[in-house]
Amino acid sequence: MGGFVRIGTGFQGFILVLGLCASSLCADGQTSQGPAALVATDSPIIIPPTVSKISPAGMERGTTAVFTIEGRNLSDATEVLFDAAGMSGKVTGITDVPEKISGPRAGEDLGAQVPLGKKQSATLELTVAADAWPGLHRFRVKTPLGTTNSMVIAVGELPEVKAQPAMAQENTAQPQHVNLPATMIGSIEKSGGTDSFEFEGKAGEDVVFQVQASQLGSNLRSLLVLSDSAGKVLATAGKNDNHPDAVLQCKLPEDGKYTVAISDRNRDGGMGFFYRLNGGPLPYITSVFPLGVRAGTAAEVTVTGLNLGSGTLKIDAPAAADGWTTMPVDFTGSGKRLLKEVRLAVGNEADVLEQEPNNSVAQAQRVSIPVAINGHIDGGSKATGMADEDYFRFHAAKGERLDIDVAAARLGSGLDSVIEVLDAAGNAIPRATIRCLNQTTAALSDKDAMTQGIRLTSTSGLREGDYLMVGDELNQIDFIPDQPDADSTLAYLGTSPDVHPVNTPVYKAQILPPDSDAPSNGLPVYHLTWRNDDGGPGYGADSRLDFVAPAEGDYILHLKDVRGMEGADFAYRLTLRDARPDYRLSAGPANPNIPRGGSAIMTVSVTALRGFDGAIDIEVKGLPAGVSAAPATIPAGQLSTEVVLTAAANASLDTHPAPIQIVGHAMVDGRDLTRIANKSNEKDPPLQLASIVPAPDVVVSTEANQVSIEPGKEVTVTLKVDRHNGFKGRVPCFIRNLPPGVRVVNVGLNGVLVTSAQSSRTFTLRAEEWAKPISQPIYVVGTVESNSSTDHPSAPLLLKVEGNVQTARSIGGAAGANK
């Protein structure tokens, strides 16, 4: 059987599990088959509420509308909680939904039978103020068993028109007449179906039609077709788009009637193919230049698109920027807000404009660091017959470390950038030599450029901290578990992620200085240069490099589109600055439901940026009365930690869910660098709420509250499970927050399984010979299985790894310089 490893495929980041094994060996030697099956039950155990569907998918602001949600365990729901002001809701009715549950199917449902929450639907009455911000908003429903998962709805500002029912069934039906601007609402319920809307247009009028579907959970991959009264097609959108939601723009040639038709581009259809279609002579930005502004300054940006008036906009930037900072472009035209949100980057560096011609090394534009360069990849084909490429010359001291990044795709530009640093003559600069030591292959499934996990045919000879070459990607293994499971990792040297099919060779790698003469062993030798296509987690198609100058002198920065394309909307903001360490945090679950007299657990993960390798203290702000958070730290060199939230035994169940923030504190250059988890694009974090729920079904504890282990040795721990509330089922237990080099041995897919006949069992921890001395709290987390499983952590068990590391490893050379 192949093993899972946690590896990184872009810049420093963290990943999720790849795949699931059909069966595995449990800690007691028994085979446990796959994930648990679900069954109906009258068990009194606490199953958190969930929502699976909402209908309709949105509403017009300034109105009140009725919605139906489908889910489980919604009984006695009392409140609807939104992510923005000006929105409120109430639950007006709850209905049980009959459900036929069959017994386990022979040969198919092999897992333990675990309970389902009661299937229900609820009616919501939602009210949105006239001045509420339009767009996509999230909400949760509060019940006595906690808050539900979040659901999304669209809030519009245009009059809403529902598609006539007959249109969804008869393709031959006459188009439905609408007065624009409007939001047309419908669904493509029949394979090959089309909904058509007729409207009056004027000569020279710029109309835009925007589909909202996929972000609302629809299966529709929309295709839009605009025709005149004679049936002549004037414009189409969506046919060859990567994004499932089409946007069509057109200048109408004459006064008259026009028809816009919406269908699925794959000719599919069904109940889940719903849409909201915003249309009319509405303000729509297709591009902005420049893509960013300097903090604390006033600037002017040029906007291109439809119905935008003068095309220029004055911007007052925030006083300061800290990390990745953006601000919205607030532009109103025709009395309506923009159909899509457009944001500008905000930085502290001096702004300069790209100066053409700078299409070669000889023409490279000289810049001084720090700097933010605003430019375009455009015009090359007209001038030379080849796509534009831009060159910039800068000076750096020996050993100077620079952060070089492109902001383009993240801000809506069409550019898919690639950057490289060359010497003064335009030659590639060696970065590192990679010598391959042994080979395995990728297994299970093809790995795409966004997936940061991989399964290997064999993990023999590999261990945490080893480097892997997968194609042209250099990665570092974070963890190799005994079971077919994986979690997260740290990427290395900033190589670009790519697509790798099953059976792609994967090599254990040794990183050597760039001028090394690697002895031949019959395996490949790679020579890395200072080049990057995709920057990794949080960067998407945008490029970034942590460049270390090998000598004092001039260097050339080369930027182009990786596809060899260009265009008027291929703008970029290229920043060069001193590489100051930074980090980002993510945390989950976003809505911890904390049992009274018990605990809930959250995982906080870090993405290290620009060489950050320090410790991060975690603080939880905004917890409700009666709830406390145990101290938590992400140790230096580790990627995550666990935060345990505990509710007092007398905590009130009537306490309102509290908006919480998970904040990191790290000392960088003598100052407290704080970062808020789950914060993206300088927007507020998602709807994060902590709730107090009834007492837990399971309390997990350990016989000891401290254990010690030496490298190369093992230690046995006894855990205990106390069941409450009539719960009598099995309890899979997982050991969380283990330090590098310490693992649970002989554990299966279901963790350390405490069967229904057991109340305790033992598990064994092993410290690898290379495990470093550390004192770190770990947690035994018991899971009560259901369609919405709950985790119950033990009190912290202090693990001490003691003694000397028997097997030391040094990275050295280029690796040490660039970690």
pLDDT of residue 519: 84
d(CA 268, CA 254): 34
Instruction: Check residue 483 and give its pLDDT.
Output: 57
784-809 pLDDT tens trace = 999 899 999 999 999 999 976 443 33
Pick from 125-139, 388-402, 417-431, 531-545: least confident: 531-545
Element (H, E) at 759: none
Please state, in angstroms and rounded to a whole number, the distance separating the CA atoms of residues 226 and 249.
Answer: 9
Output the pLDDT for position 18: 29
Region of residue 617 (phi > 0: left; psi between -120 and 50: alpha; otherwise: beta)? beta
Strand 371-376 and strand 544-548: the pairing is unpaired
Determine which helix (DSSP H) or strand (DSSP E) holds 806, and give its type and residue range: none
- Return residue ranges of the chain for CATH 2.60.40.10: 39-156, 582-693
Q: Give residue 811's pLDDT.
A: 30
pLDDT of 807: 39
Report the range of poorest mean pLDDT among 61-70, 468-477, 493-502, 545-554: 493-502
Q: Scanning the structure block, which residue is given the tokens 């265009």?
A: 567
Residues of the chain within CATH 2.60.120.380 domain(s) are 182-281
CA angle 20, 26, 29 (to 5 degrees): 140
pLDDT at 440 over 70: yes
Q: Provide the pLDDT confidence category of residue 778 given band limits of 50, 70 and 90.
A: very high
Rounded to whole angstroms, the Cα distance separating 356 from 364 reads 9
Q: How far apart are CA 667 and CA 817, in angstroms?
A: 21
The pLDDT tens digits for 343-368 are 999 999 999 999 999 999 999 999 99
In the predicted structure, residue 16 carries a pLDDT above the cut 60: no
Percent of all residues in the chain with a pLDDT value above 70, rounded to a whole number: 85
User: In the structure, what pLDDT confidence band is assigned to residue 1 with cuts at 50, 70 and 90?
Assistant: very low
What token pair was written down for 561? Answer: 């589109």
Q: Which two tokens stand for residue 403?
A: 């952060």
What pLDDT shows up at residue 803? 79
Task: Return the pLDDT at 32.
Answer: 42
- Kindly provide the residue ranges of all beta strands, DSSP E only, lying in 26-96, ordered along the sequence: 31-33, 37-39, 50-55, 58-60, 64-72, 79-82, 87-96
Could you tell me where in the chain the CATH 2.60.40.3450 domains are found?
698-801
**Is beta strand 731-736 parallel, antiparallel or unpaired with respect to 752-754?**
antiparallel
- pLDDT of 95 over the 70 cut: yes
Superfamily (CATH) of domain 39-156: Immunoglobulins (2.60.40.10)
| List of residues 6+ apart from 387 with CB closer than 8 A | 377, 380, 381, 560, 561, 564, 565, 566
Mean pLDDT, residues 496-503 taken together: 74
Average the pLDDT over 451-463 and give the result. Answer: 75
For residue 550, cis peptide bond before it (omega within 30 degrees of 0): no
pLDDT at 606 over 50: yes
Question: Residue 44 — pLDDT band, cuts 50, 70, 90?
Answer: low
Count, residues in the chain: 819
Helix/strand/coil for 794:
coil
The pLDDT of residue 815 is 36
Q: What tens digit of pLDDT does each residue of 159-205 get?
A: 999 998 754 444 556 899 999 999 999 999 999 999 999 999 999 99
Amino acid 356 reads E
pLDDT in tens, 227-240: 999 999 999 999 98
- Using pLDDT thresholds of 50, 70 and 90, give the confidence band for residue 595: very high
Residue 712: pLDDT band with limits 50, 70, 90: very high
Q: Per DSSP, which regions of 728-789 are E strands?
A: 731-736, 742-744, 752-754, 760-767, 774-784
Q: Between β-strands 247-251 and 284-289, what pairing exists: parallel, antiparallel or unpaired?
A: unpaired
d(CA 230, CA 607): 56
Query: Is 232 in a helix, a strand, or coil?
Result: coil
Per-residue pLDDT band for 487 (boundaries 50, 70, 90) equals very low
Distance, CA of 290 to CA of 188 (rounded, Å): 40
Q: Which helix or strand (DSSP H or E) is residue 382 part of?
A: helix 380-384
Taking the C-alpha atoms of residue 201 and residue 177, their distance in angstroms, rounded to an integer, is 12
Average pLDDT (643-657) is: 96
Residue 127 has pLDDT above 70, yes or no: yes
- pLDDT for the residue 481: 60
Whether the per-residue pLDDT at 616 is higher than 90: the answer is: yes
Helix, strand, or coil here: 166?
helix
- Contacts of range 383-389, beta carbons closer than 8 Å, 24 or more positions apart: 383/359, 384/359, 387/560, 387/561, 387/564, 387/565, 387/566, 388/359, 388/560, 388/566, 389/359, 389/558, 389/559, 389/560
What confidence tens digit (pLDDT) does each residue in 336-345 have? 566 778 899 9
Name 362's Cβ contacts closer than 8 Å, sequence gap at least 6. Answer: none
Q: What is the pLDDT of residue 502?
A: 82
Average pLDDT (278-303) is: 93
- d(Cα 127, Cα 345) in Å, to the nearest integer? 34
Mapped to the 3 state alphabet, what secondary structure does 593-613 carry? EEEECCEEEEEEEEEEECCCC
What DSSP string describes 339-356? SS--EEEEESSPEEE--S
Instruction: Give the model's pLDDT for residue 29.
Output: 39
Distance between CA atoms of 207 and 461, rounded to whole angstroms? 62
- Mean of the pLDDT values across residues 676-689? 78
Find residue 602's DSSP bridge partners. 643
Which residues sit opposite 601 in a β-bridge? 644
For domain 582-693, the CATH architecture is Sandwich (2.60)
pLDDT at 2 over 50: no
CATH fold for the domain made of 182-281 = Jelly Rolls (2.60.120)
Q: How far apart are CA 748 and CA 24, in angstroms?
A: 5
How far, in Å, CA of 216 to CA of 137, rounded?
A: 10
Beta-carbon-side half-sphere exposure of residue 83 (alpha carbons within 13 Å): 23
pLDDT of 107: 67
3 state SS of 679: coil
pLDDT on residue 39: 53
User: Using CA atoms, how far apart are residues 669 and 665, in angstroms rounded to an integer?
Assistant: 13
Statement: residue 494 has pLDDT above 80:
no
Architecture in CATH for domain 698-801: Sandwich (2.60)
Indicate the pLDDT class of residue 332, thresholds 50, 70 and 90: low
DSSP-assigned letters across all residues of 292-342: EEETT-EEEEEEEEES-TTSEEEEE--S---SSEEEE---EETTEE-SS--
Distance of alpha carbon 257 from alpha carbon 527, whole angstroms: 62
Q: What is the reported pLDDT for 27?
A: 39
Please give the pLDDT value at position 691. 97
